[in-house]
Amino acid sequence: MIVALAGGVGGAKLAAGLARVLPPEDLVIAVNTGDDFEHLGLHVAPDLDTVMYTLAGIANTETGWGRANETWSFMEALEEFGGPTWFRLGDRDLATNVERTRRLRAGDTLSDVTRDLCARLRVRHAVVPMSDDPVRTVVHSDHGAIEFQHYFVRDRCVPRVQRLEYRGAESARPSPALRAALDRCSGVVFCPSNPYLSIAPILAVPGVRDAIDARALAVSPIIAGRAVKGPAAKIMRELGVEPSALAVARHYRGVVRALVIDRADATLAPAIEAFGIRAVVEDTLMTDDAARERLARACVATLERT
Amino acid sequence: MIVALAGGVGGAKLAAGLARVLPPEDLVIAVNTGDDFEHLGLHVAPDLDTVMYTLAGIANTETGWGRANETWSFMEALEEFGGPTWFRLGDRDLATNVERTRRLRAGDTLSDVTRDLCARLRVRHAVVPMSDDPVRTVVHSDHGAIEFQHYFVRDRCVPRVQRLEYRGAESARPSPALRAALDRCSGVVFCPSNPYLSIAPILAVPGVRDAIDARALAVSPIIAGRAVKGPAAKIMRELGVEPSALAVARHYRGVVRALVIDRADATLAPAIEAFGIRAVVEDTLMTDDAARERLARACVATLERT
C-alpha cells in the first residue's frame, strides 16, 4: 500500500497515474490543505479539488484549475455587483465549495466531506486532506506577509518570497485516514508538486515526517532547472537556491530514499546519489494518460526495489 | 412622498409601476423580509430580490422569481453532489446572495447591502427592507410548524395553515429608511401582495402600523375570489375566510382608508364602503408595463384625493 502526497496540477497528474496502476485498497492520496482559504464565506480547497477533479476526469486541463465544461454566470453577476472577482470560481466549481462549506458548518470534518464529494464523482481511490485542522500557508515577502491565495492568484507570485510559514501546522493532527495509511503503507510517493508550497505543509503536520521514516520516493518537479508549472523555480531562487533536480534532492535529504528525475537531468544522478539518495531516471513530463501511468509504474517499481 | 409595502410578484409589479410614475425622491418601497431564510449558508431574501430584479428590468417573468437569462450549472453540480436542491438558485441569482451574505458577515446592514446592490443594477428608486433585524414567518399547519420557504417552495403550500407567526417581529425595528419615510410620507400603498405572508410581517414590526395612521390605500390581491398568483386564496379559506375583495377590506379595516378592487368585483364596492373604506374600481391585473403604470397612477390619484 502506497501513500501519495500531492498538491496542485503536477501532483494530481501523478496521483491519477497511480490510481490507474494501483487498486483502491492500495493507494491513499493525501492532499495539501495549506492553500485552503475562506473566500466569499466559503471554504475553498484548491488542491483537494484539483486532485478530486483530475481523478474524476473532469478537471479543466486548459486552466489547470476548476472543472471542465464550466460556465461563468456567477462571476459575471458578482462583477456587476462589484464583488471580489480576483479568485475565479466557475458555476459548477462553486457547488463543490458551497456543499463543502455547508457540511463543515454542520459539523462534518473535511475528511468526511471530501470522501462524500469524491464518492459522488465516482472517484474510487481515497483522496484525503492532510489534516482536518486548519493549516494556512503564509508567504512572507518583500510585500509583507501575504495569505497564500492572495500571493498565488491575486498577486500572481510577483512578491519576492523571504520565508514560508505553515500557520497552525504545529497544532494540527494528520487526518485519520492519512494517519492510518502512514501506519501500514509500504512506501510514500512525493508527487512532483511544489516542495515548498505543496509538500512542505504536509510534512509540517506533526507526526507525518516521522511516520514516513525514509520510506519515501520523490519525483522532482524541476526539469532542466525549470518548473513544469507554477512558481517553484522562482521561489527556490528567491530563497537562495539554484533550481535544479539536485537542489530538490538536497531539500529532501534525510526524508526520501529515492528521487525520480527527468532524462534531461540524467547527468545529475551521481551528485544526487552522493547524498545517499537513489536517482531514478525517467520521462517525468506527464503529457498524457499513458505518460502518467508509465511514471506511476516507475515509482511503484522503485519503491518495491528499494 | 409615498411608501409602498411590497412582497412578491404582484407587489413588485405595482412597485415598478409606481417607479414609472413617481420620481426617486417621492417613493420608498419597503419590502417584506419575513420570507428571508438561511440556505446553503447564504442569506436568501426572495422578496427583496424580486422587487429589485423587477425594478431593474431583469426579473425572470416566466418563473416569477430569480433573474432572466439565467444559467443553472451550479444547481446541476449541487444535485450531482446530493446537496439540497429544492430551493432553486440560478448562477446569477447566486451572486446576489453570496455578495449579500459576504457583506452582512462583514457587519453591513441589510439596508446597506440592498442599497448598494440596487445601485449596481441601476435601480434609481429606494428599495428598503422592512427591518434590518431578523423576522421569520413561520407557518403553523396540520403538518406542524414550518419555516416559510419550506412551506412555500419545498412543500408547495400543501399543508393546511392554522396560524401564522412572524417570529422576531416583536423585537424588530423598522429599517432606518422605512422609519424616516413613514415620518414624512403623504400616503402608503399596500401593493397587491399576500396580506398574510407579505404585508402582515411588515405591519408586525412595532411602530409601522401606528405610523401609517390610516393614510394607507391597499390594492386587493384577490380578483373575483381568486388570487392572481400564489396561495392567498387557499390560506384565507384555511383560516376560515371566504376569499374575496370584501374579505381583504375586512382584513385591512382600521388600517387603510381606500381599497382598489378590480372591475370584476365592482358589485362589492357598497359593502366595502360600509366598512368606512373607500372602494376604487380599476383594472388591477397588471399584464404589461402600461397596466402597471395605469394602476400606479390610480393609486397615487386616490391617495391625493382621500
pLDDT at res. A17: 98
Nearest Cα to A262, choosing from A294, A236, A300?
A294
The CATH number that applies at residue A213 is: 3.40.50.10680
CB within 8 Å: B98 and A78: yes
pLDDT at res. B103: 95
Which segments of chain A are extended strands (E)?
A: 2-6, 27-31, 37-39, 42-44, 126-129, 136-141, 144-147, 161-167, 187-190, 216-219, 222-223, 226-227, 256-262, 278-282
Task: Give the 3-state secondary structure of residue A154.
Answer: helix
> What band does A35 get if pLDDT is binned at 50, 70 and 90?
very high
pLDDT, one tens digit per residue, over B224-276 is 999 988 899 999 999 999 999 999 999 999 999 999 999 999 999 999 999 99
pLDDT, one tens digit per residue, over A216-258 is 999 999 999 999 888 999 999 999 999 999 999 999 999 999 9
Is pLDDT at A297 greater than 80 in this prediction?
yes
Q: Stretch A146-160: mean pLDDT, rounded?
A: 95
Residues 6+ apart with CB under 8 A from B109: B132, B175
Residue A226 maps to a domain: yes
Is pLDDT at B124 greater than 90 in this prediction?
yes
B284 and B183 share one domain: yes
Residue B154 maps to a domain: yes
Residues 6+ apart with CB under 8 A from B140: B146, B161, B162, B163, B164, B165
Q: Stretch B28-43: mean pLDDT, rounded?
A: 97
B161 and B180 share one domain: no
Domain containing A277 equals: 2-64+110-135+169-305
Beta bridge partners of B140: B145, B163
Average pLDDT, chain B: 96
Considering only CA atoms, give the Rg of chain A: 18
Cell of A103: 457540511
pLDDT at res. B128: 98
Is pLDDT at B305 greater than 90 in this prediction?
no
Amino acid letter, residue A109: T
CA atoms within 13 A on the CB side of A49: 24
ipTM confidence score: 0.89
pLDDT at res. B11: 96
Which residues does A contribute to its contact with B (CB < 8 Å)? Answer: 40-42, 67, 70-71, 73-78, 80-83, 90-96, 98-99, 101-102, 105, 116-117, 120-121
DSSP, residue by residue, chain B: -EEEEE-SHHHHHHHHHHHHHS-GGGEEEEE--TT-EEETTEEE-HHHHHHHHHHHT-B-TTTSSSBSS---HHHHHHHHTT---SS---HHHHHHHHHHHHHHHTT--HHHHHHHHHHHTT--SEEEESBSS--EEEEEETTEEEEHHIIIIISTT-SPEEEEEEETGGG--B-HHHHHHHHH-SEEEE-SS-IIIIIHHHHTSTTHHHHHTT-EEEE-SEETTEESSSSHHHHHHHTT---SHHHHHHHHTTTEEEEEEEGGGGGGHHHHHTTT-EEEEE-----SHHHHHHHHHHHHHHHHH-
Closest CB to A74: pick one of B42, B95, B117: B95
B180 and B267 share one domain: yes
Is pLDDT at A153 greater than 90 in this prediction?
yes
Share of chain A above pLDDT 90, in %: 96
B174 and B196 share one domain: yes
Is pLDDT at A213 greater than 90 in this prediction?
no
pLDDT at res. B164: 97
B28 and B155 share one domain: no
pLDDT, one tens digit per residue, over B167-207 is 999 999 999 999 999 999 999 999 999 999 999 999 999 99
Amino acid letter, residue A123: V
Considering only CA atoms, give the Rg of chain B: 18
Task: Give the 3-state secondary structure of residue A66.
Answer: coil
Closest CB to B73: pick one of A71, A76, A101: A71
> What band does A38 get if pLDDT is binned at 50, 70 and 90?
very high
Q: Stretch B123-145: mean pLDDT, rounded?
A: 97
pLDDT at res. B214: 79
pLDDT, one tens digit per residue, over B54-95 is 999 999 988 989 999 999 999 999 999 999 999 999 999 999
pLDDT at res. A270: 98
Cell of A29: 492520496
Residue B73 maps to a domain: no
Residue B219 maps to a domain: yes
Cell of A229: 508549472
Residue B49 maps to a domain: yes
CA-based torsion, A95, A100, A103, A105: positive or negative: negative
Task: Give the 3-state secondary structure of residue A59.
Answer: strand
Residue B20 maps to a domain: yes
Is pLDDT at A86 greater than 80 in this prediction?
yes
pLDDT, one tens digit per residue, over A167-206 is 999 999 999 999 999 999 999 999 999 999 999 999 999 9
B140 and B198 share one domain: no
Our count of domains for chain B comes to 2
User: Minimal Cα distance from A117: which residue of B?
Assistant: B81
B16 and B155 share one domain: no
B158 and B240 share one domain: no
Closest CB to A82: pick one of B42, B91, B120: B120
Closest CB to A40: pick one of B70, B92, B102: B102
pLDDT at res. A117: 98
With beta carbons under 8 A apart, name residues in chain A contacting B68: none
User: Minimal Cα distance from B116: which residue of A?
Assistant: A81
Residue A279 maps to a domain: yes
For the entire predicted model, the pTM comes to 0.91
Q: Stretch A86-111: mean pLDDT, rounded?
A: 97
Is pLDDT at A164 greater than 80 in this prediction?
yes
Residue B144 maps to a domain: yes
